[in-house]
A = this chain, B = another copy of it.
Amino acid sequence: MSAEAEVASDLVVIGGGAAGMTAASRARRLRPDWRITVFERGDYVSFILCGLPYFVSDVIASHESLIVYTPEFFEKERRIEVHTRHEVRRIDHEQRLLEVTDLRTGRAFNCRYGKLVVATGAEAVRPRLEGIDLGNVFVLRTIDDGRRIKAALQQGGLRHAVVIGAGYVGVEMAEALTEAGLETVLIEATANVLPGIGPEIGEVVERELIDHGVSVHKEEMAQRLKGGQRVEGVVASRGEYPAEIVIVSVGTRPAVALLQQAGMALGSTGAVATNEHMETNLPGVYAIGDVAEAHHLVTGKAVWIPLGTTANKQGRVAGENAAGGSAVFQGIVGTATVKVFGLEVARTGLTEPQAQEAGFDPVGVTIEHPSRSVYYPGATKLRVQLVADRQNGRLLGGQIVGREAAAKRIDVLATALHTRMDVEAITALDLSYAPPFAPSWEAVQIAAQQVIGKLQRAKRS
């Protein structure tokens, strides 16, 4: 290494997002005497990226709302040394040494570590598209991305927006830009908005987008971006769309470059592989959050589904284990939810195609059922999709879209997946009922009854 080892820390955390700061805090609680250091490349730590679309749409006025704790809080209250704008450029695990650059001054120094937690997160994919570097073409991944987009909107004069990619962030941004008063086109390469969630739920989401003025173009590919200094339009496979601002949301990937160089093994998903203690192939090195894989409790396989809830849980586990504990992260069931204008869209477990791919023989049903007693004012329809194993009726996954507690209703199915419940057991659940909140049979129970009926008919024939 080029620089002298200037500092040493019992625990170093690379990346100051939710996962990293949770790990540091957990370790501090168990090791009051340890020196604990965090290096974060950006300006902020303890930030909440999931809130960015709402910052852009001005539902949340200040980006500071998206920062749970400041570096000063961690320094003072938890005696964690937080270095923002510090980039770790090399990990030498044999020497237990990091090469760190202070991005403010350009000064490089070495830092010795006892235990290491890597929480470098994910980065937005920027496709190789002609014009991708034009002005007003953005991805949305960091607080700074959000601030740049918001500044562009606040400058005014923008009338047309194009969002490329209709995943979670894409539909959230289509909503945010529409709410900001722009005519918004949403371009999606597959046949579905929220690809992966399936057509029965996707069509409800698409209808909601259209009803609120978003122009939805499926099975269409963006081909190039036009403009002078700033973007002026998007040329796509089926048409050309004016755009003074473009959001590219075609996905993210784990930020593994630094870690691969250090010899950290990746899994088949391309994210860092860990054991159930969140430890990588390098002893004493833990990987957590958006850079790490997670064990999927339904398939039994490693998956990469980067979400804040998982990051928090993995952070606790890694922090405890780095401090000498033996905590276990059991895994995830793939629960996620997103707001699309007045809709709540929620999923957990596997969709029917995912179940097939994972080697199950799935049976699925889609039903509609009211959110309240049907006679109670304000009752709206929930659409529920349930997927079960044809062999034994075991629940494999579910999706719910609706206008009332759809997000929290999915949690029953998530809990059921954690305990490998079958559809019979779901019909027997003692769930809450009162006319203003729910009908006497919950929608997921009606769906489970229909799965049972389908399985019985299949047996007889």
Is the beta-carbon distance between A429 and B415 smaller than 8 angstroms?
yes
Contact status of A428 and B330, CB under 8 A, knowing A18-B440, A65-B375, A373-B48 = yes
Structural contact, B405 and A50, CB atoms closer than 8 A: no
Q: Known: A309-B430, A430-B334. Is A435-B376 also a contact (CB below 8 A)? A: no
Q: How far is the CB of A433 from chain B (nearest CB, A)?
A: 5
A461 in the interface (beta carbon within 8 A): no
Against B, the Cβ 8 Å flags (1 = close, 0 = not) of A116-149 are 0000000000000000000000000000000000
Q: Roughly how many angstroms separate A432 CA and B419 CA in the complex, as a whole number?
A: 17
Decide yes or no whether A235 CB sits under 8 A from chain B.
no
Please give me the residue from chain B that is nearest to A294 by CB atom.
B430
The A274-289 residues at the B interface (CB cut-off 8 A) are none
A8 to B442, CA, bound (A): 37
Give A209 to B356 CA distance when docked, in angstroms.
52
CB pair B408–A429 under 8 Å, yes or no, is: no
Q: Is the CB of B415 within 8 A of A412?
A: yes
- Interface: A418 (CB within 8 A): yes
Contact present for B432 and A346 (CB under 8 Å): yes
What residues of B have a CB within 8 angstroms of the CB of A297 in the complex?
430
Most buried by B among A419, A425, A429: A429
Answer whether A339 and B434 are a contact pair too, CB < 8 Å, given A309-B440, A312-B440.
yes
Known: A344-B437, A441-B312. A430 touches B375 (CB 8 A): no
Interface range on chain A (Cβ under 8 Å from partner): 35 or more
Is A54 an interface position by the 8 A CB rule?
yes
A321 on interface, CB distance cutoff 8 Å: no
Shortest A141–chain B CB gap in Å is 16
Contact with B along A321-333 (1 / 0, CB 8 A): 0000000011111
Give chain B residues whose Cβ lies under 8 Å from the Cβ of A450.
none
Asked if B432 contacts A407 (CB within 8 A), the reply is yes
Report if A336-B432 is in contact (Cβ < 8 Å); known contacts: A375-B66, A412-B415. yes
Chain A 301-351 interface residues, beta-carbon cutoff 8 Å to B: 307-310, 312-313, 329-339, 344, 346, 348
18 contacts between A and B (CB under 8 A): A48-B373, A50-B373, A51-B373, A54-B376, A54-B435, A66-B375, A297-B430, A309-B433, A309-B441, A332-B430, A335-B430, A336-B434, A339-B436, A407-B437, A411-B411, A412-B412, A412-B415, A414-B429
Closest 6 CB pairs of A and B: A65-B375, A407-B437, A337-B432, A419-B419, A405-B408, A415-B415
Which A residues contact B (CB, under 8 angstroms)? 18, 48, 50-51, 54, 59-60, 65-66, 297, 307-310, 312-313, 329-339, 344, 346, 348, 373, 375-377, 405, 407-412, 414-419, 421, 425, 427-438, 440-442
